[in-house]
Amino acid sequence: MQDTAAPGAPTGVTSFFDQPGVQLEEIAIGPGVPLGIEVVSNAGVGIGGAYGAWGKPYDNAALPALVEDCQGRAMDDAEKMNLAELGFVCRHHVPNMPKALQTELEVQVGARFLVEAAHANGWEPADVEGLLIGVTLPVVEDYTERIARAAGIPESALKVSVHKACDGSVAGLNLALNPGLPTSLGPASRLAEKLYGKRVLVGGIEGLSRALRSSRDIQAQQLFGSAAGVIGVIPGQTMKFLAGGMQEVYDQEGLLQVHMLYPHARSASADAPLIDVTRPGENHIRVAGFQHEPAAASETVVMAGPMGMVKLFVRSGVVAVRGVVQSYRQRMSDLGMPGKEITVTIAHHANLKINQLKDRYLQKEGINLRIPWLLSEFGNVSAASCMIAFLRALKQLQPGDNVLFDGFGAGTYYDVLAVELGAGV
């Protein structure tokens, strides 16, 4: 496993599409869109999945030309970010296409990841009984239902769309595994009971390139890209809940503003909760986080500078992780295994500096976590990042290893949980 990088640029990283084990194809939509998928499985723990990206890869040298094309003007030197210092050397972007073609593309791509993830676990799509997908800026409101149908997942399977920005996939995993979530989540609060022992796919599928094409925010266009990661678990068997929690801290200052391309009750009533849980269909639940939206309706994302992101995520993020680590230590003590350490921490890859700073603050509190940096070739891919990172660590994990997932995203939302990996079934 690749350890957390030292400060500075990642080295020795090639384009994801050029790496061994990546299945390449072209999706025949518009001018043709390249898609790369890597399938990963670990029979010892009984978990597999698929991850990858679609769209042309742009390294840090090539990216400014794309951004200038989107902006319609030349970039000032001061606007060009040191992306390698933030842990990123590449990201994937799709061509500008009409909404109908973008929708067709993202449904096809999403379905492909679901099929490959199911097969990585030895399942057929028809075997899947639960699907939880995090997506920040969905191309259509019923995206989860559409990709499930296109993949051949039964209509009877429970489908959960999670819109909590970059926290979406870990929030989905928390919903699937944590039996102690607050009742304020309504029909989503007891999903762990419904999904226990069932074949479940959890992931993040993020078409951020499409959503940011029209953005005026130069930082967002440099940081984000399109990618997906989906894993298969059997709650209580291949992955067992140990400790976890969730919290919301509303971004009153608007340090990271995100346009909600999904319905939310608070849009009509200021008294509605930050997390709005609804049932758009008999077997479909939507968990929607309220966002501080940009003033211009045409904008998708507006970001503060790097220090704004540190202010937004580090302090509250440390609190969220600390609380779950304390609960985890107590749980290990209760189980007669005091001192059993977390094998690896899978944290959202917002940028390398945020993760390093959080790590330093946690170490000052006596919390020493191994937090590898694993996504240099993708950029910030929001809800997809934690599932990609987990799959990249998966082959080295063993039955009985304990893993901490640290999800956080705009809003701001935090889901942190510790799990034990089971034995293959």
Classify residue 321: in a domain, yes or no.
yes
Classify residue 3: in a domain, yes or no.
no
Residue 421 is which amino acid?
L
Q: Could you tell me the pLDDT band of residue 257, with boundaries at 50, 70 and 90?
A: very high
Kindly report, residue by residue over 317-333, the tens digit of the pLDDT: 999 999 999 999 999 99
Classify residue 322: in a domain, yes or no.
yes
Higher-pLDDT residue of 21 and 14 is 21
| Domain containing residue 185 | 16-421
Q: Residue 215's pLDDT is what? A: 86
Classify residue 230: in a domain, yes or no.
yes
Q: Could you tell me the pLDDT band of residue 107, with boundaries at 50, 70 and 90?
A: very high
Classify burial at 265, counting beta carbons within 10 Å of its beta carbon; exposed 0-12, middle 13-18, buried 19 or more.
middle
Among 7-16, 175-184, 242-251, 377-386, where is mean pLDDT lowest? Answer: 7-16
Among 97-101, 214-218, 288-292, where is mean pLDDT lowest? Answer: 214-218
Classify residue 269: in a domain, yes or no.
yes
DSSP for residue 188? G
Query: 342: Cβ–Cβ under 8 A, 6 or more apart, which residues?
Result: 325, 328, 369, 370, 402, 403, 404, 418
Q: Residue 269's pLDDT is what? A: 66
Classify residue 4: in a domain, yes or no.
no
Per the structure, the count of domains in the chain is 1
Q: Would the pLDDT of 305 be above 60? A: yes
Classify residue 10: in a domain, yes or no.
no
Classify residue 279: in a domain, yes or no.
yes
% of the chain beyond a pLDDT of 70:
96
Kindly report, residue by residue over 84-94, the tens digit of the pLDDT: 999 999 999 99
Q: Could you tell me the pLDDT band of residue 4, with boundaries at 50, 70 and 90?
A: very low
Residue 239 in tokens? 């992955």
Q: Could you tell me the pLDDT band of residue 123, with boundaries at 50, 70 and 90?
A: very high
Query: Can you give the CATH number for the domain in which 161 is found?
Result: 3.40.47.10
